[in-house]
Amino acid sequence: MRILFITSSRIGDAVISCGILEQLRRNHPAARFTIACGSVAEGVFTRFPALERLIVFEKERFDLHWLKLWARVAPHVWDLIVDVRGSGLSLFLATKNRKIMRGGRRPGRRYMQLGAALGFTPPPLPVAWTTPEDEAKAATLLGGAPIIALGPTANWDGKIWPPERFIALYHALAPLIPGARPAIFGGPGEAETRRAAPVLAALPGAINLVGSLALPEVTACLKRSKIFIGNDSGLMHLAAAAGTPTLGLFGRSKASEYAPAGPRAAIAVAPGPEGEAPMHGLTVDAVRQAACSLLDVKVTI
């Protein structure tokens, strides 16, 4: 059985789609999968156990990227095509069955929408895959200390909790977790480095994991962390999918749609209208209490 899975160009949305991808693999253990995604999200899928082919494509003018992708997958007759991008590409491909998700944003949790579209009840939570090599590298990088993982970056400044509050939060949490050590996570590129720099500078003992690892290695590091606390970002979704206790910080984005989905995930939301509340309204104490609740650690006043 051959399955074509067309998914997102963004890390967060790609991670969210991994729940239904893993469920498809479990339902069809002999199937081989071709996955098409954007280059930024490529690392989300490189360790997928049933991967036969990974096709990376970039958005182009006049939607030429869809034509190029069609040319690469049209020679095959597929048993199933799942298109979470809502592109309609499968309408022009030979397939025995197709599932096309409706495109665009709409109310409700995205992972639930994907699960419902494929008839999965309950909707499967996102997952993340690693190899023993990824796990070994994470063990070397992080050592044996309990890691408080911080994600102080995001794809735009409006979603970012002030860096001085991440610093204060770490100092508030560290005494509650004996031997704790901070690890700072962020993506590649100058903007991510700039956004993480104040937190790294203020926590000189922190492990710097900003833009230095492949996504599966990041996932393995997140798996070994005691907790991840970060802005609404692809890293937040990856941490939740990895099974790490994950606390997502929201203000200028909608938690009702994009709260982290995982076995141990929670949110702290700035006061104000959903999706419009400034992040500086979210206090250190509110985040500390949410983190302690997630970890089942007693909060002291």
pLDDT, tens digit, 9 for 90 and up, residues 89-105? 989 999 999 999 987 77
Residues 43-80 pLDDT 10s: 999 999 999 999 999 888 878 899 999 999 999 999 99
Mean pLDDT (the chain, rounded): 95
| Architecture label for domain 2-117 | 3-Layer(aba) Sandwich (3.40)
Q: Which CATH superfamily is domain 132-295 in?
A: Glycogen Phosphorylase B; (3.40.50.2000)
When pLDDT is averaged across residues 222-235 and rounded to a whole number, the result is: 98
Average pLDDT score over residue span 173-202: 97
- CA distances 207 to 138, 169, 233, Å, are 11, 16, 20
**Band of the pLDDT at 298, cuts 50, 70, 90?**
low
Contact (CB, 8 A) for 99 and 113? no
Confidence of residue 299 (pLDDT cuts 50, 70, 90): low
Average confidence (pLDDT) over 270-293: 97
Show me where the domains of the chain are located: 2-117, 132-295
pLDDT at 60: 85
Which pLDDT belongs to residue 106?
A: 80
- Among 130, 159, 196, 142, which Cα is nearest to 275's? 159
pLDDT at residue 82 is higher than 60: yes
**Residue 144's pLDDT is what?**
94
In whole angstroms, how far apart are CA 257 and each of 18, 103, 111, 274? 16, 14, 9, 11
In this predicted structure, what is the pLDDT of residue 102? Answer: 80
Mean pLDDT of 242-249: 98
Separation between Cα atoms, residue 175 and residue 182, nearest integer Å: 12
Name residue 81's beta-bridge partners.
4, 98
Checking if the pLDDT of 242 tops 50, the result is yes
Maximum alpha-carbon separation in the chain? 65
| pLDDT above 60 (res 300) | no
Encode pLDDT of 92-144 as tens digits: 999 999 999 987 778 899 999 999 999 999 999 999 999 999 999 999 999 99
Looking at residue 88, its pLDDT comes to 86
Write down the pLDDT at residue 301: 45
